[in-house]
Structures are given as C-alpha cells and as structure tokens.
Amino acid sequence: MRRRTLTFLLLGLGLMLILSGCTSVTNAPPVGPDSTSFWDKYLVWPLSWLIKESASLLGSYGLGILVATVIIRLIILPLMIKQIKSSKKMQELQPELQKIREKHKNDPQKAQQETVLLFQKNNVNPLAGCLPLLVQMPILIAFYHAIIRTPEIFKSTFIGIQLGLHPNEIGWYGYILPVLAAFTTYLQQKMMGAVTPSNPQMQMFMIMMPLMILAIGVTLPAALSLYWLYGNLFTIVQTYFLYRNKDTQLRPKEGTAK
C-alpha cells in the first residue's frame, strides 16, 4: 500500500516539475509549418494549427481550445475506459482486500504479498489510473508550447482573460480558471471514488490531485487551466454515460440506502 501511495505522489511531483520546466521556452521562436524538429513538427504545430483553425470557425480561441481538448480526449478514450474498468474491478475486489487486511493486520508485509497475488490472479493493475495522466504530460507540455509560441493564441482573450498570461499577471480574476480546474478535478475524482469507495489510494488521490492542479494552474498560462477544465468536464460526462446503466452507481452506497 505504501509503495502505491508513494507512486501516486511521485507521479504528481513529476508532473509539477515537468510543467514548471516549461518556462524555458519563453524565448523560443514562434512555431509554424516550417518547423523542423520532431517535437515542433508533429506535436506543437498540429496543436497550434488545430486551435487557430477551430477559433477561426467558432470565433473564439477559448472555443478553439475546447475543440482541441475534445479531439485529444477522444484519442485517449481507450485509456480512460481502461482506467474506469480497472476501478470497477478494484471495487469488486474490496471484500477480498478487506479480508486480507483483517487476516494480516499485524503483518503488513504478508498482507502486501497476498494483495499482489490477488491483483495478479484477477489481472488487475492498481496503477492503471495513472496511465491517462502519464499520457497527458507530453500533451500538456505541447499545449504550453503552442500557446507561448503562437502569438495569436498568446494574445487572445476568453471571458476577459488573456490566455497567454499567468494568473498573477491578470489579477484576482485570473485565478478563476485554476480554481475551476481544481474543483472539477475534485468532482471527477469524486465520481471515480464512488466507483471504488473503500479504496484508500483513491481517497488520497481525490485530495492530492485537485491540489496539484491548483498549484500547477496558478504558475502557468490561463489556457492550460482552461484545457484542464474542459478535459475534466469531458471526463465527468464520459464517466456518467459509461456507468449510468451499469450495476455500479456513481454515488456513495450510503446515499442510496434510504
């Protein structure tokens, strides 16, 4: 259990360190169709182009980011579905996990060994929920590059917020998007927590993840918080439709026993 908890924390810390290192691109040249590096040509420029083209059709760079977010989320949808299925399996194994904890409450090492065997026997990976986060790390960095290195996006505004500026450069109004991103992250984790209500790692992640997103959001351009906000809303809707007709209800069991 401690090993998995440490893994979650290291993943979050790694995300914060990687994104914090993005500030080194502030002096990089604008990205365009003539970019030659693999990173710029196949990740940054396609994102920049997609946001600009969508914005020209919809009349707003904020909506252009929405289109890009939806397309990205559809691409990684198989990973998200795998995450949800893994969470459902974890819920089904909770009675067995509880028995192991009670049986070996004085021998944590033995409990850990039997827990690992139980996961292997049922083909469950307790860290499957980290896959979407790992995949999104390079996407977030590419988004950052696209925003900083595309003047049209950097200077654009959405709901009165300049997308290329950091919250502290905007004023109190600039903190709205990071707060909303953190709040919707909590709602998303809450829904997943309802699928695995007694999973202690999930309960810890439900608290840690929103705090990480808030910490990241206040140190990066507003467009990144907007992207994360859109992504959270997409995931919330996706999770609801995947589970609305399933045996697993997207709410705590105590709330249904009335």
pLDDT confidence band for 1 (50 / 70 / 90): very low
Q: Is the pLDDT of residue 93 over 90?
A: no
Tokens of 234: 């997409």
User: Degrees (nearest 5) of the Cα angle 20, 21, 27?
Assistant: 115
User: Which segment of 63-72, 131-140, 146-155 scores lowest on mean pLDDT?
Assistant: 131-140
pLDDT of res. 200: 59
- Backbone torsion region of residue 123, taken as left when φ is above 0, otherwise alpha when ψ lies between -120 and 50, otherwise beta: left
Q: Is the pLDDT of residue 173 over 80?
A: yes
Higher pLDDT, 231 or 79: 231
Token look-up 């997409």 returns: 234
Closest by alpha carbon to 243, among 199, 195, 203, 201? Answer: 195
Token look-up 């440490």 returns: 6
Q: What is the CA radius of gyration of the chain?
A: 20
64 vs 58: CA distance, rounded Å: 7
List, for residues 103-144, the tens digit of each pLDDT value.
887 878 888 888 888 888 887 776 666 666 677 778 888 888
pLDDT confidence band for 53 (50 / 70 / 90): very high
User: Degrees (nearest 5) of the Cα angle 249, 129, 96?
Assistant: 60
Measured between alpha carbons, how far is residue 130 from residues 12, 30, 51 in Å?
A: 10, 32, 27
Q: Is 258 exposed, middle or buried (0-12, 13-18, 19+ CB in 10 A)?
A: exposed
Closest by alpha carbon to 240, among 192, 196, 206? Answer: 192
Residues 6+ away with beta carbon under 8 Å from 168? 174, 218
List, for residues 189-232, the tens digit of each pLDDT value.
887 665 554 455 666 777 788 888 898 889 889 999 999 999 99
125 vs 119: CA distance, rounded Å: 7
